[in-house]
Structure 1
């Protein structure tokens, strides 16, 4: 890799998410009042503003909602082109931005995907997806 990748800011709201990734678990939040899934991590439900938020293990399965192919990148990502950046809609209904790994000819909107865990270094694991 051409350089050190930027690291996320880990705070009290997001810490369980990042710790789950290190254990090979994709965690999302669920509201205890309206029962809706939540992603990205936060202290209040964005649907009903409840503080009754709990963490749960996501299925890790979903579909490609949208994607783009990055052909030109800078900094630490310059040597990795081309690569796919996508919005994946999980079975639980939340969407997350991620990278898709796989054969360029087979990646398409609505294709089924599943999470894999990419250990970047000792401190950071990222959720990427591959075709299911």
Structure 2
């Protein structure tokens, strides 16, 4: 199984960062870091756009981060039309900024910029795997 297991709907089965799914299977959210220029990327990248290097390390995103922005999505892209509305959040973990869905049981009114959030990996009944953000 490869990248086709990521998210509620995946449009690709092959990617150079398929290990992202292996880490999610272990309950870990990871970013990549260029070995040459030490830039960190989330979502993970296989190649660095800064120095053009292609040697990356996987960096664990753990603990809590600060919610720096969020938005409510009312019109989903292809494959996600039935999921709307949902909330996307951008969480700052210091050296890493990660974005993704806020857990569906969190009401928009409960979210405040600056609040502590943590990432939670969830395996869906259909075999897909996702990560979501929850207030700490």
TM above 0.5, yes or no, is: yes
Superposed, 1:66-105 pairs within 5 Å as 66-70=69-73, 75-78=81-84, 81=85, 83-96=86-99, 98-101=100-103, 102-105=106-109
| Structure (1 or 2) with the greater strand fraction | 1
Separation in structure 2 between the aligned mates of residue 91 and residue 7 of structure 1, nearest angstrom = 29
Q: Give, in angstroms, the shift of residue 53 of structure 1.
A: 0.8
Matched, 1:57 2:60: yes
Q: Give, in angstroms, the shift of residue 126 of structure 1.
A: 0.7
Matched, 1:125 2:129: yes
Match for residue 106 of structure 1?
A: 110
Name the TM-score, length of structure 1 as normaliser.
Answer: 0.76
Aligned equivalent of 2:50, options 47, 50, 72: 47
Runs of 4+ in 1 over 6 A off after TM superposition: none
Q: Give, in angstroms, the shift of residue 116 of structure 1.
A: 0.8
Matched, 1:21 2:20: no
Measured on the aligned residues, the alpha-carbon RMSD in Å equals 2.4
Q: Give, in angstroms, the shift of residue 95 of structure 1.
A: 3.3
Q: Give, in angstroms, the shift of residue 63 of structure 1.
A: 2.0
